[in-house]
């Protein structure tokens, strides 16, 4: 059976992965982006982001994937227009909806098209967009909220195996068409209204971020009391009501989603007169968590003036080159402010990181970054860094302190190399 063609507006992480995923399921996909250079690169088979497997799928599906800066072909061939444009935070903590609104403005009146919102937007955006469409004489365009839950680094896997597909609409043809589009993935479909669908997304991200800040606070108490947060999380996680995922203590959460979405939900509540106290604490704990490493280094090294610190990994998490809200940004700036010399290594994110981390020296290998270092901090748990040969690291280093900012190393292996191991919330 032939699959419905789709339009995808915005070819960032979400848009490109979604486009590749639907092409793989058999749809012709018409991708649109305002960035001419990006479209030219995609037409030439170049993928502008690091996402495991994506390049291969885009290459395999090149006959089904069409790229253009013009909305025309997408409108001609597809009824469902999936919107996956950026909604970055503004200075006030609200989401910047200008890219979404530009898409709305660019659409013609039509009773055969639907706008399917994949971008993360504040609750109420669907209502605003439908009002705008009506004001512009385009009220016949259907609107569906279908938030995205994929994670960077495992985005294709998440597309192929979603835990659920959330579809919010007001009962026309488009909600059923979106359900049909996702049906081959076999995930439970949550059919609901637009505002509830929008809230499912924000509340899910805020809850996961809360889990992380919670376990980070438990880790900090473990440090005071001699318990090991890794054991504590293992014991907690087996309780089916709690679950073991997102209970990994570390340097805090980063990325383009959690920090932005937690602030956006807090701001959304504030705008309507409700003070969301819990989320204020989630954000504050996350900020402090990145900075606590400096105190750990000082505990062992005394002052940091002139000390050489090696940062192992700088991306906000492994398997991505994304530096948005990476813990390394705050950590490196704090270390430089304390007078330390900061050397960093990341297998993929160096190019993006260089611009954002002035004053940091980048090395081509982990061992080069470690050369002469008084201390090493594991910031991003890339497999290459987790599997480092600690005897060779010990030979390269000038000092002996290893701070495991992700609790990802084997403390025994680090200690066996004659190094001092400090985790997060571990004795
Ligand atoms: C997150 C959500 O997991 C996705 O479901 C959602 O679609 C996405 O945001 C989004 O809204 O677009 P992502 O930001 O790609 O995905 O990455 P995660 O794997 O969720 O990690 C986020 C941050 O939390 C990372 O900095 C990671 O190191 C940190 N983290 C995660 C922890 O510190 N501890 C954990 O136990 C888990």
Question: Residues 157-213: pLDDT tens digits?
Answer: 999 999 999 999 999 999 999 999 999 999 999 999 999 999 999 999 999 999 999
User: Which atom of ligand 1 lies nearest, measured to the CA of 151?
Assistant: 15
Within its chain, how far is the Cα of 3 from the centroid? Answer: 30
List the residue whose alpha carbon is closest to atom 5 of ligand 1: 149
CATH code assigned to 258-422: 3.40.50.720
Q: What is the CB neighbour count within 10 angstroms for residue 179?
A: 16
316 phi/psi in degrees, rounded to 5: -70, -20
Which residue among 31, 146, 222, 257 is the active-site one?
Answer: 257
Rounded to whole angstroms, how far apart are CA atoms 264 and 237? 28
Cα distances (Å, whole numbers) of residue 141 to 8, 73, 178: 16, 17, 15
pLDDT value at position 263?
Answer: 92
Strand order in the sheet with 341-345: 361-362, 341-345, 308-312, 375-378, 401-404, 420-422
Assess whether the C-beta atom of 325 lies below 6 angstroms from ligand 1: no
Query: Average pLDDT for residues 252-280, to the nearest whole number?
Result: 94
The band of 95, judged by pLDDT with boundaries at 50, 70 and 90, is confident
Average pLDDT, the chain: 96
Global confidence as pTM: 0.94
**pLDDT value for 94:** 81
Mean pLDDT value of segment 374-379: 98
Q: Is 407 in the pocket of ligand 1 (CB under 6 A)?
A: no
* Residue 318 near ligand 1, beta carbon < 6 Å: no
Whether residue 132 is predicted with pLDDT greater than 80 in this model: the reply is: yes
Task: Give nearest CA residue, ligand 1 atom 35.
Answer: 246
Closest atom, ligand 1, to C-alpha of 209: 24
As a whole number of angstroms, the distance between CA 395 and CA 418 comes to: 10
Q: Which residues are registered as beta bridge partners of 166?
A: 190
pLDDT at residue 61 in the model: 97
* Digit-coded pLDDT (tens) for 60-84: 999 999 999 999 999 999 999 999 9
347 pLDDT more than 90:
yes
Angle between helices 125-135 and 194-225 (to 10 degrees): 150
pLDDT for position 1:
62
C-alpha distance from residue 222 to each of 211, 217, 219, 229, 421 (Å): 16, 9, 5, 6, 16
255 lines ligand 1 (CB under 6 A): yes
How many Å lie between the centroid of ligand 1 and the Cα of residue 224?
A: 27
Which CATH topology does 6-192 take?
Rossmann fold (3.40.50)
222 is known as an active-site residue:
no
247 CB near ligand 1 (under 6 Å)? yes
Task: Name the strands in the sheet holding 80-83, side by side, starting at the edge strand that comes first in the sequence.
Answer: 65-68, 29-32, 6-9, 80-83, 114-117, 142-145, 165-168, 189-192
| pLDDT, average across residues 386-395 | 97
């Amino acid at each position: 059976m032939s699959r419905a063609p789709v339009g995808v507006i915005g070819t960032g992480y979400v848009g490109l992965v979604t486009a590749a995923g639907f092409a793989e399921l058999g749809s012709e996909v018409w991708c649109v982006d305002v960035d001419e250079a990006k479209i030219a690169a995609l037409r030439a088979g170049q993928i502008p982001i690091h996402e495991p497997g994506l390049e291969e799928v885009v290459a395999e599906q090149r006959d089904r994937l069409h790229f253009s800066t013009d909305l025309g072909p997408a409108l001609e061939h597809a009824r469902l227009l999936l919107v996956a444009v950026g909604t970055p935070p503004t200075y006030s903590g609200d989401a910047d909806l200008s890219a979404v609104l530009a898409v709305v403005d660019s659409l013609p009146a039509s009773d055969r098209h639907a706008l399917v919102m994949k971008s993360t937007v504040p609750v109420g955006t669907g209502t605003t967009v439908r009002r705008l469409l009506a004001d512009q004489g385009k009220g016949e365009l259907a609107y569906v909220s279908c938030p995205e839950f994929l994670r960077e680094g495992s985005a294709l896997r998440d597309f192929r195996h979603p835990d659920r597909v959330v579809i919010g609409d007001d009962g026309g043809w488009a909600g059923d068409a979106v359900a049909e589009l996702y049906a081959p993935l076999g995930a439970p479909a949550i059919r609901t209204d637009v505002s509830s669908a929008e809230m499912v997304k924000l509340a899910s991200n805020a809850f996961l971020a809360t889990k992380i800040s919670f376990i980070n606070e438990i880790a900090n108490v473990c440090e005071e009391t001699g318990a090991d947060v890794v054991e504590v999380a293992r014991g907690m996680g087996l309780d089916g009501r709690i679950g073991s995922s997102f209970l990994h203590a570390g340097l805090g959460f980063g990325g383009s989603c959690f920090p932005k979405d937690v602030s956006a939900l807090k701001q959304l509540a504030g705008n309507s007169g409700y003070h969301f106290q819990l989320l204020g604490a989630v954000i504050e704990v996350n900020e402090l968590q990145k900075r606590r490493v400096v105190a750990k280094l000082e505990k062992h090294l005394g002052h940091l003036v002139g000390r050489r610190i090696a940062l192992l990994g700088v991306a906000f998490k492994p398997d991505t080159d994304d530096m948005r809200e990476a813990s390394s940004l705050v950590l490196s700036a704090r270390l430089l402010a304390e007078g330390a010399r900061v050397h960093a290594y990341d297998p993929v994110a160096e190019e993006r990181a260089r611009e954002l981390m002035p004053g940091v020296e980048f090395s081509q290998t982990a061992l080069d970054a470690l050369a002469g270092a008084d201390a090493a901090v594991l910031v991003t748990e890339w497999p290459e860094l987790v599997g480092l040969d600690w005897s060779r690291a010990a030979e390269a280093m000038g000092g002996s302190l290893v701070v495991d900012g992700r609790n990802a190393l084997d403390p025994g292996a680090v200690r066996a190399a004659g190094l001092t191991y400090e985790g997060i919330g571990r004795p």
